[in-house]
Structure 1
Amino acid sequence: MSARPETAVAAALPASSHKPSGPQSTLTRASRGQRGSCRWILQEGFAQRLGKDCSKVTKPAAAAPAHSTLCDISVVLPHVLHCRRLLLEGLGALVTTDVPLFPLSGLVMPGGLLPLRIFETRYHDMVRDCMRSGTGFVVTLSASGQETGRDVRPQEIGTYVEIIDFEALDHGFLGIVCRGQQRVRILTPHQTRAGLWLGDTAPYGDEPDGAVPESYEHLADLALQLVTELGPPFDLDAPQPQNARWVGSRLTELLPIPGSAKQQLLELRDPIARLHQIACFVQQMVRARPGS
């Protein structure tokens, strides 16, 4: 059994680092959640991408009477559906429909490796269908921060992954290793009766390659040390400690950073900006140790 991520982090950080207070296992599960919504339609920036036909969705509506506190859904819903249709038509072939979604407490970045232990029937079926069709699924952080209960739901940005290895485990469990392929935007998440999340997805966009600036070389050393310490499957690929995107991605996956901050790091399009934020987190971890 390879070293656990939290153990490797504690060993790799400087001597005055703060030990994580709880486990951050990558062998995890997702559970049921409530039906997603179309609130992404109303987010800033979509009206500009869709054109003037959708601009009225984000413009302030006429002032409502002082006594009115509720929005008339019969007025709003047609605009929401109209925007969704325009968005899907505009993206065209870039949209993939009904992709399985796996909300977790951890994430994987493009190029990263994620081992998972599958034991629920719905996810057994998902893995079987993916392997039969040669397709993957989307790993996303749980928007609620929980992995169990009806409040579990996917974030709007996740990583499309493909299964590269699997093995049958004891007690009917299934072990798989996934490789992150690309970041995607989840457009219309919804749950099946079996509890599996599905959603239409569109590419979120690539980010440029670039060298690690000298001021962040200590992060490259930390990422290399973590991957080496953890061993398989994290060390299956050749490390790229000179590549800013590789360094930032591995540290985002492996460091004990709060989930909301990890989501922000995932969504960044600038690898140098990601390194800057990670450097701040590492500095906070070092300072948090008593006596430092």
Structure 2
Amino acid sequence: MSAFLPLFPLNLVVFPGEKLNLHIFEDRYRQLISECLETGKSFGIPIYLDNKLTELGTEVKVVALHKRYDDGRMDISSQGIRVFKIDSFVNPVSDKLYAGGEVSFLTEDTDVQLPSPRLLELLQTLHTLLDTPVEYDKTKAPFSFQVAHKVGLSLSDEYRLLALPKESLRQMYLVEHLQKIIPVVSEVERTKARIRMNGHFKNLDPLDF
């Protein structure tokens, strides 16, 4: 399935189902969002990565206009819908200020409905180390997109995750990532604890040798 979407490139990855708040201030995007509000149509957020526009992005819908300023700026809430691949790109669209393009929507293969026990275990370990509780709904698929921003992925890593066509592959990708970073985080936390102890009185047990 293909369609023409107005495009709003950003230096971030929006995952399907994710809620995103945006402050709209450029003229071209004020025009784009105003049209979306008037017509109810969606727009696309392709990822701008390493100083270039990538071929993948996420279709997004405006779910609320929170404030419209006197100068035309807007605060909106939006939500990701589905992943697309750009087939053609035009900047700007004829008679418009913003860019757009023909896109093909990728088929989502949610081949597993629940998170793997190993992924849940590693998530718990990471957020216990960081002392930062994370909220997620284990029954809501795809689970990988719920937690992708909460595990320390780089922008390029998030892009690779978005490109994976199956939920099972995305969960495996997250497991491999967490297995790599948890030992690093653990060592950082131990170092921080040693630094905090420096200069404090220490009650040390005598060594028996």
Per the shorter chain, which TM-score range? 0.7 to 0.9
| Residue in 2 that maps onto 1:197 | 99
Report 1 or 2 for greater relative contact order, CA contacts < 8 Å, sequence distance ≥ 6: 1
Q: Among 164, 167, 175, which residue is 2:63 paired with?
A: 164
- The alignment status of 1:182 with 2:90, answered yes or no, reads no
Please report how far the alpha carbon of residue 191 of structure 1 lies from its aligned counterpart in structure 2 after TM superposition: 0.9
Residue of structure 2 in register with 1:139 after alignment: 45
SS of aligned partner of 2:8: strand
What's the RMSD between the two structures over aligned residues? Answer: 2.6
Distance change in 2, residues 1:106/1:256 (3 Å): farther
Classify 1:215/1:100 alpha carbon distance in 2 versus 1 (closer, same or farther; 3 Å): same
Helix, strand or coil at the partner of 1:162: strand
CA offsets 1:40-87 (integer angstroms, 9 cap, x no match):
xxxxxxxxxxxxxxxxxxxxxxxxxxxxxxxxxxxxxxxxxxxxxxxx
TM-score, normalized by length of structure 2? 0.74
**Cα separation, 2, equivalents of 1:285 and 1:169:** 42
Deviation at 1:282, TM superposition (A): 2.6
1:245 aligned partner, one-letter code: P
Counterpart position of 1:102: 8
Q: Secondary structure at the match of 1:216?
A: helix
Paired residues of 1:244 and 1:272 also in contact (CA < 8 A): no
Give unpaired runs (5+ residues) of structure 2.
192-209
Percent identity of equivalent pairs: 19
Letter in 2 for 1:129: E
- Given that 1:101 and 1:196 are in contact with CA atoms closer than 8 Å, whether structure 2 keeps it comes out as yes
2:75 & 2:122 partners in 1: Cα distance? 31
In the alignment, the residues of structure 2 paired with residue 189 and residue 255 of structure 1 have an alpha-carbon distance, to the nearest angstrom, of: 32
Q: Could you tell me how far 1:169 is from its partner in structure 2?
A: 5.8
* Amino acid of the structure 1 residue aligned with 2:21: P
For 1:283, the aligned partner's letter is Q
User: What whole-Å deviation, never above 9, does each CA across 1:154-173 have from its counterpart, x for those lacking one?
Assistant: x2111111000112266743
Match of 2:134 in 1: 226
User: What residue ranges of structure 1 are gaps of 5+ in the alignment?
Assistant: 1-93, 147-151, 228-238
Cα distance, 1:212 vs structure 2: 1.6
Shift of 1:255: 3.8
TM-aligned CA deviation for residue 276 of structure 1: 1.9
Kindly state the Cα deviation for residue 219 of structure 1 after the two structures are TM-superposed: 5.3
- C-alpha spacing 1:104/1:129, structure 2 compared with 1 (3 Å): same
CA distance in 1, matches of 2:122, 2:77: 26
Change (3 A) 1:139 1:288: same
Is it true that 1:245 corresponds to 2:174 in the alignment? no
Could you list the runs of 4 or more consecutive aligned residues of structure 1 that deviate by over 4 angstroms after TM superposition? 169-172, 219-222
Query: Which residue is 1:259 aligned to?
Result: 155
Which structure: larger Rg? 2
Change (3 A) 1:281 1:170: farther
Greater percentage in strand: 2
Question: How many residues of Structure 1 are paired with residues of Structure 2 in the alignment?
Answer: 178
SS in 2 for 1:131: helix
Aligned to 1:212: 115
Question: Structure 1 residues 226, 139: CA separation in 2 closer, same or farther (over 3 Å shift)?
Answer: farther
Secondary structure of the residue that 1:288 maps to in structure 2? Answer: helix
Q: Structure 1 residues 103, 278: closer, same or farther in 2, change over 3 A?
A: same
**Residue 220 of structure 1 contacts residue 241 of structure 1 at CA under 8 Å; is this kept in 2?**
no
Per the normalisation by structure 1, the TM-score is: 0.54
- Deviation digits for residues 12-66 of structure 1 (CA, Å, limit 9, x no counterpart): xxxxxxxxxxxxxxxxxxxxxxxxxxxxxxxxxxxxxxxxxxxxxxxxxxxxxxx
Contact map agreement 2:7 2:98 (CA 8 A) in 1: yes
The question of whether the paired residues in 2 share the 8 Å contact of 1:100 and 1:198 is answered with yes
Q: Is the 8 A contact 2:60 2:78 kept in 1?
A: yes
CA deviations over 1:84-116 (Å, ceiling 9, x no partner) = xxxxxxxxxx2212x111221222211111111
SS of the residue 2:49 aligns to: coil
